[in-house]
Amino acid sequence: MTCDEIDDLLAAYALDAVDDDERAAIEDHLATCEHPERHEVDSLRAAAIGLATLAEEREPSVALEARLLASVERGSETRPRPGVGYIAGRPRRDLRWAGALVAGVVLMVAGFVAGALLFSGDDGSGEALVQVVQKDAMRMRAEAVAGESPVTVTLAGLGRLPEDVGYQVWAVRDDGWVTVGICNTDEDGWWEGDFDFALRPDDALAITIEPREGSPTPTGEVVLRSTGWERTAQ
Amino acid sequence: MGSSRAAPAAGAPATDDPIDAPTDDRVDERALARRLQARDASALAELYRAHRQRAFGLAYRVLGDAPAAEDAVQSAFLALWQQADRIAPEGSLGALVMTIAHRRAVDLARRRAAERVHTHRTSAAFDGPTADVAEAIPDEEAQAAFARVLDDPEGTRRRVAAALDRLPVEQRMVVELAYFEGLTHRAIAERLGLPGGTVKSRLRLGLGHLRDALDTGAPETGAPDTGVTRDGRGEEERA
Ligand SMILES: [Zn+2]
């Protein structure tokens, strides 16, 4: 876009009334071009915040704070404890409930999913990789050193499955999906542990629901899927 | 930090302090920002408690239902947490929360609208704070520019409401459709059956008037003529 076209869109941009492509073009342009009206946008965004005061304040549910803090504490603060690859299912009486959760998970999945987020390290092997994928209340965090076992995985918000199935974690590669491991969450929808698997820097991750012994290729619905690792200098 | 902000925003309480002396609130905010940057989760809880009602109110206004609005709010706070190192020292956490929450709410509203078109699913699919989180946080200069808009929220609210009332109705309508309905300028043009240029021009004039009413720091960089200090009407019809 030209400087004039950018200027034409600044108010729409300040109001979040541009589409994703326009937003990206505007941000790129403002970051690199010294054109005279580029500072205009800040004051327009300030005016947009003024509009926000017109919305009536409302109290969100109490659960929201708990959800927010749980996702923070579990996802990025707690250092996962090493665990085993599979946690046995619970007594029969819970199965109906677990099944209902599975149905819920699958329903939410359709539109799926998520992107890789955090990353660190320099390049080359031995690179530290961290990946967080979230969809609704479901969250997976994976941490590994490139090319080295293990992969430390934390799952939160994934309903515990019946005994005969599990969450199978996959490394998504150009030439196919490779099994990382399989596990099941506890009654809080939570699992953390290590899988004996060496991730590559260009692996994406995915989770499907599979028979407990695992499948050679994915057969179940994709519950979560990342778009791949990203890295930045720290 | 490269910010040329000098004039106090309208609505900042009149005091004898030099303009740049931080208020107590601002000092507290800086401490809070530092704790967020140090990954102190209790700081996030404090931030949430301070701004949840305003953020949720805004998201609710855009989305019209509580579960989706809660998703947007959660995502906004999570984005701030994950990108805490981008919080500018001279910014305002409240303004930042509102900016991000609005953006998340609008994104969610659009995704939901797109889904209604393509499927029968009614649940709001929400991808969480994902790939575009980074851009969700405005740069330092922007944060400094809107640092004081919420210093006196009641005053700001009165001024914005009055300014909105004074806008020509056609400008007011497009500004409200954009900000509170989450429509893009293109969607507004479609809905109102107007040429695209007209909508962009009305948004510019309308928001420009609000900006002037708030005096949110028109930059001293040669004050570009945006046409907003003139009467906008005749001009926009040519667009
Ligand atoms: Zn330019």
Closest CA–CA distance from residue A91 to any residue of chain B (Å): 31
For chain B, residues classed under CATH 1.10.1740.10 are: 21-137
Pairwise CA distance, residues B144 & A51, whole Å: 18
B101 → chain A, closest CA residue: A52
Measure the CA–CA gap between B178 and B154, rounded to whole angstroms. Answer: 23
Q: Which residues are within 8 A (CB) of A15 and not within 5 positions of it... i.e. 6 or more apart? A: A48, A51, B175, B178, B179, B203, B207
pLDDT of residue B202: 97
Q: In chain B, which segments carry CATH 1.10.10.10?
A: 152-239
Which residue of chain A has the CA closest to B187?
A17
B127 touches chain A (CB under 8 A): yes
> CB neighbours (10 Å) of residue A165?
19
Query: Six-digit token pair at B215?
Result: 């005096």
Distances (CA, A) of A51 to A89, A101, B136, B152, B179: 52, 40, 18, 13, 8
Which residues 95-124 in chain A show a CB within 8 A of chain B?
107-108, 110-118
Cβ-Cβ contacts under 8 Å, B41 against chain A: 69, 72-73, 77
For residue A234, pLDDT over 50 is answered with no
What is the edge-to-edge ordering of all strands in the sheet holding A204-211? A176-183, A165-173, A204-211, A222-225
Reported confidence tier of residue B210, pLDDT bands at 50, 70, 90: very high
Closest by CA to B146, choosing from A49, A54, A31, is A49
Flag the least confident range among A91-95, B10-14, B98-102: A91-95
**Cα–Cα dist B131/B184, whole Å:** 21
In three-state form (DSSP H/G/I as H, E/B as E, the rest C), the secondary structure along B33-99 is HHHHHCCCHHHHHHHHHHHHHHHHHHHHHHHCCHHHHHHHHHHHHHHHHHCHHHCCCCCCHHHHHHH
**A211 vs A85: which has the higher pLDDT:** A211
Tokens at residue B1, please? 């930090």
CB pairs under 8 A between A and B: 237
CA–centroid distance, residue A217 to ligand 1 (Å): 50
pLDDT band at residue B26 using 50, 70 and 90 as cut-offs = low
**To the nearest whole angstrom, how far is the Cα of A146 from the nearest Cα of chain B?**
21
Residue B115 vs residues A61, A226, B111: alpha-carbon distances, Å:
26, 21, 6
Q: Centre a 10 Å sphere on the Cβ of residue A54 and count the other Cβ atoms it contains.
A: 17
Quick one: pLDDT band at residue A223, thresholds 50, 70, 90? confident
Percent helix, strand, coil in chain A (nearest 5)? 30, 25, 40
**Environment class of B1 (CB within 10 Å of its CB; exposed 0-12, middle 13-18, buried 19+):** exposed
- Token pair, residue A125, equals 């092997």
Q: What is the pLDDT of residues A5-28, one digit of tens each?
A: 999 999 999 999 999 999 999 988
Question: What is the band of B24 on the pLDDT scale with cuts at 50, 70, 90?
Answer: low
Distance of residue A169 Cα from the nearest chain B Cα, in angstroms: 19
Per-residue pLDDT at B228 exceeds 70: no
CA A38–ligand 1 middle distance (angstroms): 7
- Please give the pLDDT value at position A22: 95
Whether A4 contacts A35, CB under 8 Å? no
Supply the pLDDT for residue A154. Answer: 81
**CATH dotted code for B152-239:** 1.10.10.10
Q: Which of B61, B106, B149 to probe the A interface (max A CBs under 10 A)?
A: B149
Report the phi/psi class of residue B11: left, alpha or beta, with left for phi > 0 and alpha for psi in -120 to 50.
left
Whole-number pLDDT of residue B57 = 98
Residue in chain A lying closest to B116 (CA) = A111
The CA-based angle B32-B36-B38, given to 5 degrees, is 115
Cβ neighbours of A133 in B, within 8 Å: 128, 130
- Nearest by CB to A16, which of B54, B103, B211? B103
- pLDDT given for residue A143 in this prediction: 79
Per-residue pLDDT band for B224 (boundaries 50, 70, 90) equals very low
User: At B47, is the pLDDT very low, low, confident or very high (cuts 50, 70, 90)?
Assistant: very high
Q: What pLDDT band is residue A213 in, cutting at 50, 70 and 90?
A: confident
Q: Tell me: the pLDDT tens digits for B176-203?
A: 999 999 999 999 999 999 999 999 999 9
**DSSP strand pairing (A128-135 vs A138-145):** antiparallel
The number of residues in chain A equals 234
Q: Please check whether residue B96 touches A, CB under 8 A.
A: no
Tokens (6 digits) for B166 = 């004074």
Q: Per-residue pLDDT tens for A148-198?
A: 888 888 888 888 888 888 899 999 888 888 899 888 888 778 788 888 888
**H-only helix segments in chain A:** 3-14, 20-32, 40-52, 62-72, 95-109
Position B118 scores a pLDDT of: 55
Q: Which conformational region is residue B141 in: left (phi greater than 0), alpha (psi within -120 to 50 degrees), or beta?
A: alpha
pLDDT in tens, A72-87: 876 543 333 333 233 2
* Residue A112 amino acid letter: F
User: What dotted CATH number matches B21-137?
Assistant: 1.10.1740.10
One-letter identity of residue A233 = A
Residue B196 touches chain A, beta carbons under 8 Å: no
Joined tokens for residue B85: 């190192």
CB B56 within 8 A of CB A58: yes
Side chain identity at A98, as an amino acid letter? A
Geometric angle at alpha carbon B188, from B182 and B194, rounded to 5°:
170
The terminus-to-terminus CA distance of chain B in angstroms comes to: 38
Question: How far does residue A138's CA lie from ligand 1's centre (Å)?
Answer: 41
